[in-house]
């Protein structure tokens, strides 16, 4: 009944943007197993020098970028006119489609900054669709109390009949933020045929009935196929994201912030960036 663990990703420390310290949980080397998910970064630090340079103007095409803020604030701006600030407990879901240029810059120069950014592939038929941006405030995100304590924040898709604020996304993505107390268990059903992974934000947990070791903060679990996920917390409280989506099973041509289906499409995208015709709006 419950899914077993297929792989555990420990993540690796790196730098991105103009010099932001990140933990790259998975990326291009691992993406084949995670279709439609391409990349997951845990970014930020307690030290402003590690994040203050931010992510200046850069292009995207062919993907959706999903940013879930845990601490601090980031200022967003893009080539289709969106401006705003995303703070703790808030999300931005950007569908780059045919092309968008944007920036994400820290709003404050002190204290802690932490966020999670996920890249989700767009099906070939929608790669060149108009770009879209959706900002979600904390009061728009429903919370579901768990028996025995804990709660689930429903960010996209549904859980126990409760719909999240992000709907009708091309990847059919479901996204939960789960908080569990010590000595508790959690089930997520109705997942047959979907790609599912978890990433531990705080504490540790056991993510399948047959697993003997806990997965700790900063690591991700990719699950085998099956109808449901079972999570248990025998030693610590835990907070983690659970994400599910339908695999596209399409070829990928990927370089940096642009993901297409063929090398020719990829080269054409970068040619348009060079000559200034990348954005369509």
Per the structure, the count of domains in the chain is: 1
pLDDT number for residue 107? 86
Q: Is residue 63 part of a domain?
A: yes
Q: Is residue 229 part of a domain?
A: yes
CB 82 within 8 A of CB 107: no
CB 170 within 8 A of CB 64: yes
pLDDT number for residue 171? 75
Q: Which residue positions in the chain have pLDDT lower than 70?
A: 281
Contacts of 220 (CB under 8 A, 6+ apart): 8, 9, 11, 25, 26, 40, 197, 198, 199, 200
Measured at the CA of 155, the angle between CA 149 and CA 159, to 5 degrees, comes to 55
CATH label of the domain that carries residue 264: 2.60.120.10
Q: Nearest Cα to 158, choosing from 170, 146, 141, 137?
A: 141
pTM, rounded to two decimals: 0.95
pLDDT number for residue 265? 98
- Token pair 């991105």 in the structure block, residue: 16
CB 106 within 8 A of CB 54: yes
Q: Is residue 281 part of a domain?
A: no
Q: Is residue 13 part of a domain?
A: yes
Range of the domain at 186: 5-275
Q: Is residue 165 part of a domain?
A: yes
Rounded Cα distance, 9 and 27, in Å: 10
Rounded Cα distance, 157 and 31, in Å: 22
Q: Is residue 204 part of a domain?
A: yes
Q: Is residue 280 part of a domain?
A: no
Q: Is residue 183 part of a domain?
A: yes
């Amino acid at each position: 009944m419950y899914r077993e663990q297929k792989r555990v990703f420990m993540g690796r420390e790196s730098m991105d943007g103009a010099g932001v310290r990140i933990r790259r949980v998975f990326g291009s080397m691992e993406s084949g197993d995670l279709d439609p998910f391409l990349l997951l970064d845990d970014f930020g630090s307690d030290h402003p020098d590690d994040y203050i340079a931010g992510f200046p103007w850069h292009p995207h095409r062919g993907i959706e970028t999903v940013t879930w803020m845990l601490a601090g604030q980031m200022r967003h701006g893009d080539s289709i006119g969106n401006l705003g600030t995303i703070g703790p407990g808030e999300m931005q879901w950007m569908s780059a489609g045919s092309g968008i240029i944007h920036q994400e810059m820290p709003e404050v120069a002190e204290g802690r900054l932490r966020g999670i950014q996920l890249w989700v592939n767009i099906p070939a038929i929608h790669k060149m669709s108009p770009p879209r941006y959706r900002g979600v405030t904390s009061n728009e995100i429903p919370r579901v109390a768990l028996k025995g304590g804990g709660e689930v924040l429903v960010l996209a898709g549904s859980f126990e009949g409760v719909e999240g604020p992000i709907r009708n996304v091309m990847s059919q993505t479901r996204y939960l933020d789960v908080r569990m107390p010590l000595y508790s268990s959690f089930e997520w059903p109705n997942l047959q045929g979907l790609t599912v992974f978890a990433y531990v934000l705080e504490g540790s947990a056991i993510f399948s009935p047959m697993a003997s070791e806990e997965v700790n903060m900063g690591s991700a679990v990719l699950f085998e196929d099956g109808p449901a996920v079972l999570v248990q917390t025998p030693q610590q409280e835990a907070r983690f994201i659970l994400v599910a989506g339908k695999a596209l099973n399409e070829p990928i041509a990927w370089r940096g912030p642009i993901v297409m289906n063929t090398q020719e499409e990829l080269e054409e995208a970068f040619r348009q960036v060079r000559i200034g015709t990348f954005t369509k709006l």
